[in-house]
Every structure is written in C-alpha cells, then in structure tokens.
C-alpha cells in the first residue's frame, strides 16, 4: 500500500534520495532548496509512502500562473493570482516502477486543482519524458523564459481540462516515468 499524502519540509531527505535515483547529475537540486520549497505557502506537493512510512515517490508541485517557470535551483513564489498547477518534478523509485504511483500522485494533484477551481497544469519535460506527459494529456506550448537550466531537449508543456475534457489524468497504467521538472 502506498498512501498519498502531502509533503512537508521534513520530507526533503526522502525527496533527495529518490531524486538521486532518477535524475542525471545536471538536474539534481539540493536538500536545503527542497526543504525551503516544501515550506513555501505556494507548494502543493504530494508523496507516496511504503508500509514503513518511507517515501517511495513524489510529485513536487506548486500553484503558479500560466507561462511562469521556476528556474532549476530556484525557489517557488507564492502567487495571489495562481491559475495553474505547476508540476516541478515527479519521480518514482525504480524499485517501485509499474505500481501506478505516478498516476496516483497526478490524480491526487488534479483533485486538489479541481477543488481550487484551477483548470490548467504545466511542467517542463526533461530527460526524454515528452511521450509520458503526452499520454497524461499534456501538449507542447510556447516556451517561456527560464528553461535554459533544464538542459537540451527541455520542453514546456501544458494541460487544460477544457482541451481534453478530463477531470483527472487517464486511468491507463504506465511504467515509471523519468522525472519531470
């Protein structure tokens, strides 16, 4: 069982452990930064835990506005006019791949967005994850400023519920996605 729960600053070490297992060295961010992000009033991050309570997957997300991208190694900014659920990164421990954890995290985040009246999500696809995100209903969008630090092939993508008519991401089971920034 992997219950989904909100993340707090105390979860930063677990996030870093998973991040190290999933990301290339150029995309690793610090534990101090994640502790700061997870203490931000803008964050709406979620995690999945194993039976012992250890973090096995996470979705670091925050409330933002269309076209705003937090630079790699940047902190989340609280926005009074937030209209977008920004998915900064999604990662699943390789040993937990194929168990539906990414989907469960995405669906829980979408439910939070729905409760707030937010009908759009955005992300930066990295490490060749565009196909995974397309299966979740995301499409490439004009690139805003701030993508430089995410490396070659970084792609800004958005998902509007009005565009694809879903109240949650598809129920299809996918294998472990590589992290999205």
CB atoms within 10 A of CB 28: 13
Q: Do residues 109 and 44 touch, judged by C-beta distance below 8 A?
A: yes
Residue 179 has pLDDT above 60, yes or no: no
Query: pLDDT for 28-73, tens place per residue?
Result: 888 898 898 899 888 999 999 999 999 999 999 999 998 888 888 8
4-164 CATH fold: Aminopeptidase (3.40.630)
Region 162-168 average pLDDT: 47
Predicted TM-score of the model (pTM): 0.85
Question: In whole angstroms, how far apart are CA 150 and each of 62, 68, 143, 153?
Answer: 18, 14, 12, 8
Region 8-14 average pLDDT: 94
Q: Do residues 180 and 123 touch, judged by C-beta distance below 8 A?
A: yes
170, with CB counted inside 10 A (0-12, 13-18, 19+), is: middle
Query: pLDDT for 126-156, tens place per residue?
Result: 988 999 999 999 999 998 887 888 888 899 9
Residue 165 has pLDDT above 70, yes or no: no
Q: Report the C-alpha gap between 156 and 28 in whole angstroms.
A: 19
29 CB-near residues (< 8 Å, 6+ apart)? 19, 72, 73
Confidence at residue 44, expressed as pLDDT on a 0 to 100 scale: 93
Confidence at residue 154, expressed as pLDDT on a 0 to 100 scale: 92
Q: What percent of the chain has pLDDT over 90?
A: 57
CB burial string 104-114: b at 16+ within 10 A, e below: bbbbbbbeebe
The tokens of 64 are what?
């933002």
> Hey, is 26 helix, strand or coil?
helix
Confidence at residue 109, expressed as pLDDT on a 0 to 100 scale: 95
Q: Report the C-alpha gap between 160 and 162 in whole angstroms.
A: 5
Residue 173 has pLDDT above 90, yes or no: no
Query: pLDDT for 94-118, tens place per residue?
Result: 999 889 999 999 999 999 999 999 9
Residue 14 has pLDDT above 60, yes or no: yes
């Amino acid at each position: 069982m992997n219950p989904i729960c909100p993340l707090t600053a105390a979860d930063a070490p677990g996030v870093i452990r998973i991040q190290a297992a999933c990301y290339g060295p150029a995309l690793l961010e610090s534990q101090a930064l994640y502790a700061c992000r997870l203490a931000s009033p803008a964050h709406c991050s979620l995690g999945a835990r194993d039976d012992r309570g250890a973090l096995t997957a996470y979705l670091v997300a925050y409330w933002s506005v269309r076209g705003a991208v937090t630079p790699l190694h940047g902190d989340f900014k609280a926005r009074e006019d937030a209209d977008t659920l920004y998915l900064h990164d999604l990662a699943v421990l390789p040993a937990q791949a194929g168990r539906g954890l990414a989907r469960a995290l995405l669906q829980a985040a979408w439910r939070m967005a729905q409760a707030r009246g937010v009908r759009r999500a955005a992300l930066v696809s990295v490490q060749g994850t565009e196909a995974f995100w397309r299966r979740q209903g995301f499409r490439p969008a004009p690139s805003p400023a701030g993508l430089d630090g995410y490396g070659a092939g970084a792609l800004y993508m958005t998902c509007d519920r009005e565009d694809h008519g879903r109240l949650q991401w598809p129920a299809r089971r996918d294998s472990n996605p590589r992290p999205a920034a």
